[in-house]
Amino acid sequence: MLRRSARAAGTVLAAAGLALAGLQAVPATPVQAADARAGTTAATGSAAEALGAAEARPELLRALERDLGLTRPQALRRLANEAEAGATAARVRQGLGDAFAGAWVDGPESATLTVATTRSADLPVIRAAGARGRLVTHGLTALERAKEALDQGATVDTPVRFVDVRANRLVVEEARPGAAARLLAAAGVPQGLVDVVRTAEAPRPLYDIRGGDAYYMGGGRCSVGFPVTRGTTQGFATAGHCGRAGTTTTGFNQVAQGSFQASVFPGNDMAWVAAGANWTATPYVKGAGGGNVQVTGSVLQPVGASVCRSGSTTGWHCGTIQQHDTSVTYQEGTVSGVTRTTVCAEPGDSGGSYISGSQAQGVTSGGSGNCSSGGTTFFQPLNPILRNYGLTLKTTGSDPGPGPGPGPGEPEPGGTWKAGTVYAAGATVTYGGASYRCLQGHQAQAGWEPPNVPALWQRV
């Protein structure tokens, strides 16, 4: 079975990207996170600075120390290095095309980046970007297509399937002997691509407007994911299995709160709740001890990055991201596109917030184990929820007020880039007369214009 390792330092960056044509070398050296009391500083214009990695709240740092065994300076350095590694890896994938086979970083604090490729000719270029290169057999696209074929026929006897990028293999967990072999045969997937892992645990939805606070639906309880707005309507994103469209909710204080506006489960595990006029969305997640952890954006962090979860049953717990784009088959059906983590959770934590540094990651879907013995959990990434329902994540930068604007006689920048839009990696926009390619998926916001955040946009 797959075992939980709270101190696992390896990071798989299966969804990162960068054009190698005209690539400038960017050494993958540690970046110092800004915190005067920890004695560290952030590089001006760095990805860590742009994504707020240097502004981690004390509650977050204490949780990383408890769950990942890090000191405060180590936690700050790790958050900064993870932000830099994600940006660097994002710039590397584009030029590799179908030869790209994933990437990962090693080290509890540093971010020594490795990029895998199926072409030996790519290795010098990868090294020039400041990363280590590894030659492997299978491209990531080929492994992902094989997983998609398996997803079509998966049952609860083969509950979890994912691409292990470091091993360059497709992994299938089976609850009954022979279940994986039957699935492979039915899908026509060669056994040589797959590692079969026995498991005795069955993932399940964790049944039972600050992120992590409780809300109630009749006799059930779930947790708020992330506060959002849609026009003038306040609300929050959460898990689809917690309720259907029309289901009414009451808040943590048992006061009438709102109702589900849309919900998908299975397939995905996403929903959003519109709250009444007496509820106000805040840019916070409930942290350790009940303190507020600020949310500044929604940049999905790489596999291996630290991530913390807030839920109404077990509170605040941290771990690491294991794999993105995982498929899980619950009793109710298959959910695809979720992220697998080492963070523990229990019933009632469903729908709650996953956050990495100050970047919103997703909402709790399900998992196995508990917070006494440990376990594996899955979260539905947040950006697809924002995009599908036209929601705007509430962040500490959501209401920037009037800026300086253009000077006398200067035109507005213009272009297709627009705050509030959810951009996927590879999307292209224009801004100020130039074209840019998105490197890491995120919801755009004021202050994150393409020229200002090279961690998110590359000029083309």
Strand partners, 140: none
CB atoms within 10 A of CB 352: 33
CB atoms within 10 A of CB 106: 15
Residue 384 phi/psi, 5-degree rounding, is -60, -35
> Which residue type, as a one-letter code, is found at position 240?
G
Give me the sheet containing 428-431, strands edge to edge: 428-431, 434-438, 457-459
Q: CB within 8 A of 312, min separation 6: which ones?
A: 212, 213, 214, 221, 222, 223, 252, 348, 349, 352
Distance (Å, whole) CA 85 – CA 8? 16
Residues 341, 45, 115, CA angle at the centre, nearest 5°?
A: 45
- Does 35 qualify as catalytic in the annotation? no
From 151, 164, 269, 349, active-site residue: 269
Strand partners, 211: 285
Establish whether the linkage from the previous residue to 266 is cis, with ω within 30° of 0: yes
Give me the DSSP letters along 192-224: GGEEEEE-----EE-----BT-EEEETTEEEE-
From 263, 350, 358, 365, active-site residue: 350
Copy the structure tokens of residue 375: 């376990």
> Which residue type, as a one-letter code, is found at position 183?
L
Length of the chain: 460
- Does 310 qualify as catalytic in the annotation? no
From 138, 241, 324, 442, active-site residue: 241
Best CA proximity match to 316, nearest among 67, 149, 89, 16? 67
**CB-based contact 111:17 (threshold 8 Å):** no
Type and span of the H or E element at 147: helix 140-153
For the chain, what is the radius of gyration of the CA atoms?
21
- Does 350 qualify as catalytic in the annotation? yes
Active site residues: 241, 269, 350
